[in-house]
Structures are given as C-alpha cells and as structure tokens.
Structure 1
C-alpha cells in the first residue's frame, strides 16, 4: 500500500507544478491536460482556458509521488487541514523552504529544534501547508 498526496487547484496547477518542481529540484512527469480527455458526454463543456488546465501531473520526491490537478470547481480556496511533510538533507530543506515561502506565509522559520537540525513550516501561495525537516540521520 502507498499513500500519494493529491493537491487540487483551480486554474493554478501549472504554476504550482513549476513552483514545486523548482523547490524540490525535480521535473513533473506524466502531465495530462483536460484537452487530452477523449470526448465524453459526462464531461461539462470546457472553456478554451480550461482545456489547457492540468488534469493530472506527478512530481517525484525520492520514492514518493505527489499528484496535482486542476479542479473544474473552486474547492476550499482557503486551504485545508492537510499538511505535506517533507524530509531531506539540510540543503534540500533550505532550498525548498526559500522557494515555497515566496508569496506564502512562514509559520515557523527554519531553525534547529529538539527533533531536527533544520525544521520550518509554511503555507505556500496556493494555501498548501508544508512542514520541512532535515533527515534525522543529519542530527549531530
């Protein structure tokens, strides 16, 4: 069994894919757009803009995957109670944090804690809550 976080956006998925790809120094794969969906009578009519929206993209973080998609309905634009926790090296955490905080809100600045040599939390500009922590192996 595997858990795959799935983050929904409303027309901002491509921008989020670019931000997260930059933050985690990876490249999104398997990007499918709404225009790729075969004709389907159950599908509502799409505007030209919506046809270019992403129906699914995948970002790989080590052995983990995060899936992202635009939703045709505005869902929970104020964020959610879901938090994505990412562990990595100090350099990876510092890079991701500095990238994700642009346009977002820092909740806990990066600092040494009793459980991590480098930990911080923030809400990015898409209202996704992130907790970033250096791997336990890197502790002194």
Structure 2
C-alpha cells in the first residue's frame, strides 16, 4: 500500500505541469483531457472544460503523483492543509529547485541550515502549492 498526492490546479494544470517539467525535471507519463473521456450521459462535462486536464500522472524523481484541472471553480480557495515535500540528495540541486519554486511564489522559510538538516526551506509556488525542500540528514 502507498499514498499518492492528487493535486487539483483549478484550471492551471497544464501551466503547472509545464513549469514542473522545465524547472524540476518532472515527466508527465499520462495525460487525458476532459474531451477525451468516454461520454457519460449522467455526468456530462461542461463545454469550457473540454481542453482542460481531467487526469495526469507525473513522475518526479522516484515519486509518482497525479494532477488535474478539477472543476475550474472560480470560488475555489487556495491549496490548504498540506505540502509536498521534495527531498534532494545534494545542496546545489536543492537550492536550485527551491529557487525555481520561489520564482513567482512566496518564500515561507528561506532555504537554510536547520538543526535537523543542512538545508531546508518552505515556499508557496506560483500555483499556490506549498513545498518543503529538504536535504536528507546524512547529506
């Protein structure tokens, strides 16, 4: 058994996936648009969702997570109550990824040495996703 994050980007999924692919080296291993789904007479998609991402699988390092545009609800609030934790094996890469996530976002805790790690920082990226970037204790 394992747990996988499923992240809803409220209409900005393609933009987020492009950014994570470019800046973090993520790979989109599967993507389906709402218009590509089999018809469902009981739950037809709204026409404005046709070109939005219904489901995507994302590989980031050894982790797989899922993403979607969701319902593209203008009343939806920001991500809340969780963070993605990105563990990086070397300090230079950790700082590079932290800075990439901070670009257009908001630094919550600068990347720095802590009592538990030689490098740790928290940032909310340009899509509203909270990230914790950390070096493992042994690095």
Do these two structures clear the TM 0.5 threshold for a shared fold by scoring above it?
Answer: yes
For 2:53 and 2:68, the matched residues in 1 are separated by 6
Give, in angstroms, the shift of residue 38 of structure 1. 0.9
Instruction: Indicate how the Cα distance of structure 1 residues 45 and 6 shifts in structure 2: closer, same or farther if over 3 A, else same.
Output: closer
2:56 matched to which residue of 1? 57
Unaligned runs of 5+ in 2: none
TM-score, normalising length: structure 2: 0.89
Matches within 5 A, 1:113-128: 113-128=114-129
Q: Distance between the aligned counterparts of 1:62 and 1:97, measured in 2?
A: 15
Where do 1:1-140 residues align within 5 Å? 1-47=1-47, 49-74=48-73, 76-89=76-89, 90-138=91-139
* Greater Cα offset, 107-116 or 66-75: 66-75
Using the size of structure 1 for normalisation, the TM-score is 0.88
SS at match of 1:98: helix
Bigger CA drift: 59-68 or 113-122? 59-68
Q: Deviations over 1:91-131 (max 9, x none)?
A: 33212211111221100111111111111101112211110
Q: How many residue pairs end up in the alignment?
A: 137
For 2:57 and 2:92, the matched residues in 1 are separated by: 23
Aligned CA-pair RMSD: 1.7
Distance in 1, Cα, partners of 2:77 & 2:44: 21
CA-to-partner distance for each residue in 1:68-98, whole Å, 9 max, x for gaps? 1011152742221111111112233212211
